[in-house]
Amino acid sequence: MAGNSSRRGAIRKTGSKKGQVAGSGGKRRKGLEGRGATPPAEARTKHPAARRAKMAEKSAQTRGRPGGGRVASRKNDEGPEVVLGRNPVVECLRAGVPATALWVAVGTDSDERLKESVQRAGDAGISILEVPRSDLDKLSANGLHQGLALQVPPYRYAHPDDLIAAARAHQEPALLVALDNITDPRNLGAVIRSVAAFGGHGVVIPQRRSASVSAVAWRTSAGAAARLSVARATNLTRTLKDWQTKGITIIGLDAGGDTTLDEFDGSGPVAIVVGSEGKGLSRLVRETCDMILSIPMAGPVESLNASVAAGVVVADIARQRR
């Protein structure tokens, strides 16, 4: 049909097209330019990584709040530790574990453990803060905090040379214990308690692959960690060799030792090296020892727990020195 505008060669009306038909005249040239490299995830405000970075920064600046200043890495510079649950918290406070804050969730039902925790924290001058339950939920799995948490600052380790200096200050032959491959903080705490009980001058642990003086170790030591120096060695073998040059005899404990405790003379300066129950002494540490000592046993037990073995030997040396 002649009037059909859709047929070939028909003239279109310019006013029928919607929107702009002419160019911008260069006014939108900047909008067509590239925006450069994509910024990192932390710099994009709506990216999850940016939100996490902002939360971490806010947490590091927060004081008196759960997790404030908490450091995730515990390899070199350890951050505060949070103890959760009513029994662990009250046991830490009974043991005299140094703490900076006690957090009580809003609306928490009171019982004897909570009352005692608040009382002990108040007597020790520890800050007591009432916080939303959600704050403690973020620090625990499945909300297993029972409305109570305790912040424990990082332990201040001594230098290995400080342990020798402590013995010289008391004008006594050094009695030291070194732990090799001990990864259970309860074993570490028990060793600290035994060494303190029998007049030892300190405990040294490796910086890597070793239990640290955590709240669990504090609690197991029954407060002895506050009275006995614990040193950290960057390289345990090197530290033991350095002690040898200073006149200390290095004694390794092993069930297959060629010298028994009954034959051992512990009157001189000694360092007792204790390995784990499973792995025992590491090869380099064992080769460094001046002597390998065994504990005679009457029963069919093949070996003793590391902390028990250390306690037996330290107690016997203390008896000899008396």
For the stretch 173-225, pLDDT in tens is 999 999 998 999 999 999 999 999 999 999 999 988 889 888 888 878 877 88
Average pLDDT over residues 308-322: 93
Question: In the chain, what percentage of residues exceed pLDDT 90?
Answer: 42
Largest separation between any pair of C-alpha atoms in the chain: 127
The pLDDT of residue 205: 95
Say what the pLDDT of residue 41 is: 64
DSSP secondary structure code for residue 145 in this structure: T
Mean pLDDT of the residues in the chain: 80
Q: How confident is the model at residue 153 (pLDDT cuts 50, 70, 90)?
A: confident
**Using 50, 70 and 90 to split pLDDT, how confident is the model at 316?**
very high
- Checking if the pLDDT of 42 tops 70, the result is no
d(CA 217, CA 91): 12
Torsion of CA 283, 287, 291, 293, to 10 degrees: 10
The confidence score (pLDDT) of residue 152 equals 87
Output 220 or 300, whichever has higher pLDDT. 220
Bridge partners (DSSP) listed for residue 206? 233
Average pLDDT over residues 241-250: 95
Question: Which three-class secondary structure state does DSSP give residue 301?
Answer: coil
Per-residue model confidence (pLDDT) at position 250? 96
Contacts of 145 (CB under 8 A, 6+ apart): 84, 85, 105, 136, 137, 139
Least confident of 40-44, 94-98, 127-131, 169-173: 40-44
Q: Which residues contact 66 (CB under 8 A, 6 or more apart)?
A: 82, 103, 131, 135, 136, 138, 139, 149, 151
pLDDT value at 20 more than 60: no
Residues 262, 276: Cα–Cα separation, whole Å: 22
What's the pLDDT band for 71 if we cut at 50, 70, 90?
very low
Which comes out higher in pLDDT, residue 3 or 187?
A: 187
User: SS3 of 206, please?
Assistant: strand
**Residue 152: strand pairing partners:** 81
> Under a CB-based contact definition with an 8 Å cutoff, are residues 270 and 251 in contact?
yes
Per-residue burial over 95-112, b = 16 or more CB atoms within 10 Å of its CB, e = otherwise: bbbebebbbbbeebeeee
Q: Which range has highest mean pLDDT (19-28, 45-54, 128-137, 194-203)?
A: 194-203
Exposure of 89 by Cβ count < 10 A (0-12 exposed, 13-18 middle, 19+ buried)?
buried
Nearest CA among 289, 283, 292 for reference residue 256: 292
pLDDT tier at 62, thresholds 50, 70, 90? very low
